[in-house]
Chain A
């Protein structure tokens, strides 16, 4: 690897970063839908507050809330914060009775706990004929133990879970020069490594084959998990107690051949010198910002890059495709939990007196009109939960292509909480090992840890111990749970797991 001057100046980088942030914050290149008629009498002259994790969602909300506030004669404060800040702001707000009226739950708070602790309130009373409204959602959107408790509706499940965060986005010119066309045929692991090498060689220090935000730990676990799943490790689930568990056996797959091979591939690419220098001190948005600047050829990230780049970097010619597939054998499916996308599910604060406004907005987001407006702006980044909204949405060919890929690559797996809602107590008690999955992969790629197979075996042992401890604690607290609740012997990873399969 050699150092060379490139076209990416500090100014260009900052402009690029700003552009991506701008895309998230202001880049509404399509107009939001008009504000719907109110569903009932709403308070006026009040301030309504909403908080979530932003990204492409912010593009929709900034425009929609501005129009909505004007139409309803209220003020709407929309805060988009990263998850680590949501994890601080929301609990503190709840404790001080000053939380936002509507919030996304921190990722380490499970809904059952939020209900039990009195963080949230049901919104059944704020939407007229809520049963009919709920019936218009796809099956599995509302689930007891997930967003329904004691027959009441608590969470708004308005975006689809059917997406994954490590599909390939690549610079078309570099990829063509390297002799590959992933849109025509997804790269297999060997081709992925070879493409990275060839792009790096062609770059002569001005650009590199592959980039990843290695300082953002979750990128490592997601990348290995999804590559491992596609290579045949049947790991399922979304929540902390089920990710990386093979539901057929109830055991972790950290030491599976597929996971180990995926890590070894990343280490080999690092050794090839075809990984962008400085990845360990770079987070995902920084890595993302380098792509349109031409500093890297490939990145495995989320679909919301598509809208951001198309809006802010229209000159950037990029392609999207499946994440790397195994060299031989069938391509494994990616598993998602039954239900809507948990991080985007919105909750009404128990202390809020503006339930009617929340109900008005929730109602709109749960109509074809609202869902289509959402799809028009957010696109593939956070797809709407109504399939018909996707069909009618105006989206780029890239967004449509990646959504089609998601449909092919992703299957709904079992959600153990649906099988036994008391597992929520296990989730609440689970304490992941300090040297967790993501850190272990980072340590192995950074060269701080040696021996992939041995480390992954140790990791599996640590997770098993942590999971056993969580079950023991939940049982001691009176929960009727058992590790066999994580076993679904009839699960076929290549098919959707429906309500009848429990």
Chain B
């Protein structure tokens, strides 16, 4: 073993920077979160009390936690299918090189992706404002509503509103994924399909989609993981309100850990337990992604051949 270590010493040496950085910024925080999750601790003082799985037990019986968890899932289910479908349609349209100004349209759709989330959040609060907000102005002018809608201030409309803004913001990146996937479809497959008089929707449905399916699985799961990480957007738009109506998991964790808001002590240990649980959910999605991608890839190979 030592001989092998010696022989590949430079390889191992090259691994060191990555290991050190990974240790500092990935592995240590994970272990620290697990450690804190087993303590009753405010984060302010040195009075850490070991409670074992106590925080998790409390968490699983906390209706506010489960409401936040449910909202995170609703957010995921509300955004991912919309994002996937709209971006696929756009990608299919813009994949046609002959389409005039396709590069311009791609750029315009991608622009919100590179705009800071907080800026997007603040601008949309103005756009959606019931007082002089252009969205309400348009709806009123069109006669679709008779009085302004308080999109972000009503418990009924806040989640659909934030979901809409999120989909708009991240549509561009999903479209780029789809475009990359579409460009892997070999030209001879298109040519063969044309010879068989397979065009339009048929071509997309029966030829293109099965080939890009492995990508679809990966894109779906990447989007799903993304949809669980919406902290800056929701903080800048609603702060989790009104009355918890847009409080998803990340906001719950943040509020519990830092922003109790009423002068009472924060619960860093409890928040860490919620964070660890949330981490496992995201990890499960990622594992699901790997398995599904492998299966879909095997299926796509058959179609290609």
Contacts and interface: CB of A to CB of B under 8 A. Distances in A.
Nearest to B134: A10
B242 A84 contact: no
Contact of A277 (B43, B46, B130, B238): B130
A28 B267 CA distance: 40
A211 B263 CA distance: 25
A108 B264 contact: yes
Interface in B44-78: 44-46, 64
A279 B126 contact: no
A432 interface: yes
B229 interface: no
B242 A277 contact: no
Interface string A258-286: 00000000000000000011111111000
Nearest to A5: B132
A281 B150 contact: yes
A109 interface: yes
A279 B263 contact: no
A91 B43 contact: yes
B258 A3 contact: no
B242 A240 contact: no
Nearest to B148: A3
Given A113-B45, A280-B153, A281-B152, A432 B260 contact: yes
Interface in B10-50: 42-46
A439 B241 CA distance: 9
A31 interface: no
A214 B239 CA distance: 11
A276 B129 CA distance: 11
Interface SS, A side? loop
A240 B264 contact: yes
Which of A221, A280, A436, A439 has most chain B Cβ within 10 Å? A280
Interface SS, B side? loop
Contacts of A117: 44-46
Contacts of B129: 277-278, 281
A13 B126 contact: yes
Contacts, number: 135
Interface string B250-270: 000000001111111111000
Interface stretch (A148-156, A348-356, A366-374, A444-452): A444-452
Contacts of B264: 108, 240, 430-432, 436
B29 to A, nearest CB: 14
A3 B261 contact: no
Contact of B242 (A434, A436, A437, A448): A448
B267 to A, nearest CB: 7
B125 interface: yes
Contacts of B154: 280, 446
Contacts of B237: 281
A217 B261 contact: yes
Interface residues of B, number: 43
A431 B44 contact: no
Interface in A12-47: 13
A443 B243 contact: yes
B242 A214 contact: yes
B60 to A, nearest CB: 15
A107 B264 CA distance: 8
B137 interface: yes
A229 B136 CA distance: 39
B238 A87 contact: no
Given A117-B45, A215-B238, A438-B261, A87 B266 contact: yes
B172 to A, nearest CB: 24
A93 to B, nearest CB: 12
B152 A278 contact: yes
Contacts of B153: 214, 277-282, 446
Interface in B256-299: 258-267
A312 B177 CA distance: 49
17 contacts: A3-B148, A10-B126, A108-B44, A217-B261, A218-B262, A281-B151, A281-B152, A281-B158, A281-B238, A281-B242, A432-B262, A436-B264, A437-B262, A442-B243, A446-B155, A446-B243, A448-B155
5 pairs of A and B residues whose beta carbons are closest in the complex: A280-B153, A281-B152, A277-B130, A432-B264, A443-B243
Given A1-B147, A117-B46, A278-B130, 16 more contacts: A2-B147, A84-B261, A214-B242, A217-B241, A217-B262, A240-B262, A279-B153, A281-B153, A281-B158, A281-B237, A428-B265, A434-B64, A438-B261, A439-B243, A448-B243, A449-B243
